[in-house]
């Protein structure tokens, strides 16, 4: 019987036989105001109350939410994120075991865009010739600095006999002369113009230079088009259209889209013969490249396991101890604040040498200084709510001892850290990171902190005096913390740049210098704990199976992928590639010796060849080297791999698996089938 049915029955009993007063029963939800009309970027108060039949307020818990990416609802404040017609949904939270239908209220919210304050049009590189085409990008900005997504733009040409423009802003030269192209935002009326001179086009052929006659899937080739006249002179800055024709090795299994070509930069996903085509006006050029399989697959050998089956395992760190042996530290998630210390000198004989329990619900992160002098354990859910970090003396790695606890300014929970020999970077409540001086591990001292405005920090990684903090919808925030190029020091961090990624939840960032190309790549990992909107959304859960109740035993679904940013020029980052495996989501990652190691939750540990220039989806290019899934019938959730974090160390790959503890694997030295 539901709570509401039981209450009505009791009311009927009291009406017939009499009785004492009865607590009022909620019959409806009301909102103040009843509807909202807002501008994107604005916030408004919204109060939702439960009322009894007589209009009196009833104190019941109410959950209030809005559509993701459109409305943010937090603590009675609604923030509009994009224009449209939406609803805030308020739902009564019933007591556990109550099978009644909860009260529900839908509050209409109408959101409009703010006025455009800055409207600009930028032409693609090149000179406009008769018969060639140049594209244009239009950017509409609001006064608060946000960008208007997909503004409806109307394009017009001042003289179609000189140049025409289509609805996408692509301008094509018709005859020599001057022309003005105007862009107007249909709704706001914002307008701007750009002028072009159309040149005569007397080219007779195109020669294609660069590239290579032979390559592998995933290899990025740079082609260049030389547009020539009949005398052999080259026309400057000719806009060129690139394409390809494809004859696959396997006509049955080859996909419809087999390669990517963008401004002469080409990468093939499947083997075969590709004709590279360059077109400008009425002339064209052709080059041919033969693509072979990448043959990157290698066999995985399981070396050993440090089993943890009674709680979830969180992060790991592997290091060489001061005694010359190799060790690992692993944390626990909702495991009463325990961290485990392992001897992994012989991975086939992994031995738990000690454990330390701290005042915490979760030790989410563990880090060890490069010199092996100390370890740091993060705390979340401490009994006194001060959380902070616990510093471990590793003078004797087999007998770790607590050196100190530091919690000043770290009371909101420390989710992640980064350890250097002399400094420790510790997150504080998802709001900022605090830098501690670790010269004396028994008395850490505050040095400085960095708090980026309007962001939520989840992780921080430091390389060459630059801190890369992952800040969810704000992407990666880059700060000079001692590099000096931008004037930053450890005492006075200086903001460098922000690599925004509002479409995802930037959870982790790993900077990597690639020796073969001289490029710096940023590997950014999402963490999206839902697959809402996908054909297979998953079932939710994420609790060990309870044989008494029959409940639990299904992991939460995940989504997201690895974004790869060319960060060689920090002031001009370019989104160039991704590693995307459908139906799984990413967690922690590591890049070393041109190999990407990424924990892909239910998708296991993925190892990916990231050598050379990168472009497109690496998962479609034969770059996957191996996959390891930690099936363990004795795991916290039996035979359900959930890779949490990897780390390569001295020729082995170590993995923390959420459900089964610490694993060590090794890759074969040559290509071989994976079973």
Residue pair 449/435 in contact by the 8 Å Cβ criterion:
yes
Q: Which three-class secondary structure state does DSSP give residue 619?
A: helix
**Mind listing the pLDDT tens digit for each residue in 384-404?**
888 999 999 999 999 999 999
143 versus 671: which is more confidently predicted? 143
Contact 622, 284 (CB under 8 A): no
CB burial of 481-501 (b: ≥16 within 10 Å; e: otherwise) equals: bbbeebebebeebbebebbeb
Q: What is the pTM of this model?
A: 0.86
Buried b (16+ CB within 10 A) or exposed e, 617-633: bbbbbbbbbbbbbbebe
- Predicted confidence band of residue 284 (pLDDT cuts 50, 70, 90): very high
Q: How far apart are CA 463 and CA 586, in angstroms?
A: 22
The total of other beta-carbon atoms located within 10 Å of residue 412's CB is 17
Task: Give the CATH class of 203-292.
Answer: mainly beta
More confidently predicted of 250 and 416 = 416
Characterize the bridge pairing of strands 624-628 and 643-649.
Answer: unpaired
CATH class assigned to 23-112 = mainly beta
Give the start-to-end residue ranges of the domains of the chain.
Answer: 23-112, 116-198, 203-292, 298-671
CB 561 within 8 A of CB 579: yes
**Which DSSP string corresponds to 394-438?**
-SSTTS-EEEEEE-TT-TT----EEE-SSEEEEEETTTEEEEEE-
Close Cβ partners of 214 (under 8 Å, ≥ 6 residues apart): 289, 290, 291, 292
- The DSSP 8-state label assigned to residue 472 in this structure reads B
**Integer Cα distance of 189 and 300 in angstroms:** 61
Question: Who contacts 647 (Cβ-Cβ below 8 Å, separation ≥6)?
Answer: 316, 317, 318, 590, 597, 653, 654
Most confident of 2-11, 144-153, 246-255, 315-324: 315-324
Angle at 134 between CA 132 and CA 137, to 5 degrees: 170
Q: How confident is the model over 194-219, as pLDDT tens digits?
A: 999 999 999 999 999 999 999 999 99
Residue 171 has pLDDT above 50, yes or no: yes
Q: Which residue has the higher pLDDT, 248 or 232?
A: 232
Q: Are 369 and 419 in contact (CB under 8 A)?
A: yes
103 contacts 50 by C-beta, under 8 angstroms: yes
Contacts of range 135-140, beta carbons closer than 8 Å, 24 or more positions apart: 135/168, 135/169, 135/170, 135/171, 136/169, 136/170, 136/171, 136/181, 136/183, 136/194, 137/169, 138/169, 138/183, 138/192, 140/116, 140/185, 140/188, 140/190
Q: Give dist(CA 45, CA 36) in Å, integer.
A: 9
Per-residue model confidence (pLDDT) at position 328 = 98
Is the pLDDT score of 258 beyond 90? no
The Cα 331–Cα 340 span in angstroms is: 7
* CA-closest candidate to residue 474, choices 461, 456, 458: 456
Find the radius of gyration of the CA atoms of the chain.
30
Query: Cβ contacts of residue 224 below 8 Å, gap of 6+?
Result: 208, 209, 210, 264
Tens digit of each residue's pLDDT (9 = 90 or more) over 492-544: 999 999 998 766 689 999 999 999 999 999 999 999 988 878 898 888 777 77
**What CATH architecture applies to the domain 298-671?**
7 Propeller (2.130)
CATH architecture of 116-198: Sandwich (2.60)
Average pLDDT, the chain: 92
pLDDT of residue 386: 87
Q: What's the confidence (pLDDT) of residue 502?
A: 66
Coil vs helix vs strand at 464: coil
- Fold agreement (203-292, 298-671): no
Q: Where are the beta strands (DSSP E) in 574-660?
A: 574-579, 589-592, 595-599, 605-609, 616-617, 624-628, 643-649, 652-657
Helix, strand, coil: what percent of the chain each, to 5?
5, 50, 45
């Amino acid at each position: 019987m539901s709570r509401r049915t039981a209450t009505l029955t009791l009311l009927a009993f009291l009406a017939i036989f009499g009785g004492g007063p009865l607590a009022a029963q909620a019959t409806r939800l009301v909102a103040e105001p009843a509807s909202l009309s807002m501008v994107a970027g604005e916030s408004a108060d919204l109060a939702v109350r439960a009322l009894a039949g007589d209009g009196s307020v009833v104190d019941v818990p109410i959950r209030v939410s809005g559509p993701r990416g459109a409305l943010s609802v937090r603590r009675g404040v609604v923030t509009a994120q994009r224009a449209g017609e939406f609803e805030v949904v308020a739902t009564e939270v019933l007591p556990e075991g109550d099978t009644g239908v909860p009260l529900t209220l839908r509050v209409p919210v109408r959101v409009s865009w703010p006025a455009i304050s800055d409207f600009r049009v930028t032409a693609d590189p090149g000179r406009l010739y008769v018969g060639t085409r140049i594209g244009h990008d239009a950017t509409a900005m609001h006064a608060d600095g946000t960008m208007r997504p997909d503004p409806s733009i109307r394009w017009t040409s001042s003289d179609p006999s000189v140049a025409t423009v289509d609805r996408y802003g692509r301008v094509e030269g018709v005859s020599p002369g001057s022309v003005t192209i105007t862009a107007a935002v249909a709704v706001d009326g914002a307008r701007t113009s750009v002028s072009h001179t159309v040149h005569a086009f007397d080219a007779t052929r195109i020669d294609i230079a660069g590239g290579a006659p032979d390559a592998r899937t995933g290899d990025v080739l740079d082609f260049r088009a030389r547009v020539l006249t009949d005398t052999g002179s080259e026309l400057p800055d000719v806009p060129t259209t690139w394409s390809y024709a494809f004859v696959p090795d396997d006509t049955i299994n080859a996909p419809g889209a087999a390669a990517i070509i963008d401004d002469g930069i080409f990468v093939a996903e499947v083997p075969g013969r590709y004709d590279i085509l360059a077109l400008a006006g009425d002339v064209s050029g052709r080059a041919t490249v033969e693509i072979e399989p990448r043959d990157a697959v290698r066999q995985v050998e399981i070396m050993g396991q440090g089993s943890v089956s009674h709680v979830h395992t969180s992060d790991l760190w592997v290091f060489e101890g001061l005694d010359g042996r190799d060790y690992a530290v692993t944390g626990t998630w909702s495991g009463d604040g325990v961290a485990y210390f392992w001897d992994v000198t012989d991975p086939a004989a992994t031995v738990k040498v000690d454990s330390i329990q701290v005042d915490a619900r979760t030790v989410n992160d563990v880090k060890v200084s490069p010199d092996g002098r100390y370890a740091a354990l993060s705390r979340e859910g401490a009994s006194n709510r001060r959380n902070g970090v616990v510093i471990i003396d590793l003078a004797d790695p087999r007998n770790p001892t607590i050196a100190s606890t530091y919690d000043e300014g770290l009371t909101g929970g420390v989710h992640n850290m980064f350890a250097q020999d002399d400094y420790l970077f510790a997150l504080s409540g998802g709001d900022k990171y605090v830098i501690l001086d670790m010269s004396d591990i028994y008395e850490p001292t505050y040095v400085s902190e960095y708090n980026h405005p309007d962001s939520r920090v989840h992780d921080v990684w430091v390389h060459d005096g630059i801190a890369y903090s992952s800040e969810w919808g704000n992407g990666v925030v880059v700060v000079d913390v001692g590099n000096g190029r931008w004037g930053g020091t450890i005492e006075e961090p200086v903001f460098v740049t922000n690599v925004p990624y509002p479409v995802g939840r930037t959870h982790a960032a790993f900077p990597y210098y690639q020796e073969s190309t001289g490029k710096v790549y940023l590997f950014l990992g999402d963490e999206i704990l839902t697959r809402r909107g996908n054909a297979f959304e998953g079932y939710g859960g994420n609790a060990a199976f309870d044989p008494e109740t029959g409940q639990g035993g299904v992991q939460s679904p995940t989504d997201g992928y690895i974004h790869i940013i060319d960060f060689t020029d920090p002031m001009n980052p370019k989104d160039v590639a991704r590693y995307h495996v459908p139906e799984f989501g990413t967690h922690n990652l590591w890049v070393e010796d041109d190999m990407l190691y990424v924990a892909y939750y239910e998708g296991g540990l993925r190892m990916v060849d990231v050598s050379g220039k990168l472009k497109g989806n690496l998962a479609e290019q034969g770059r996957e080297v191996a996959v390891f899934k930690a099936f363990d019938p004795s795991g916290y959730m039996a035979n359900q791999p959930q890779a949490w974090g990897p780390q390569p160390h001295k020729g082995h790959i170590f993995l923390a698996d959420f459900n089964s503890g610490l694993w060590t694997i090794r890759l074969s030295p040559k290509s071989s089938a994976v079973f």
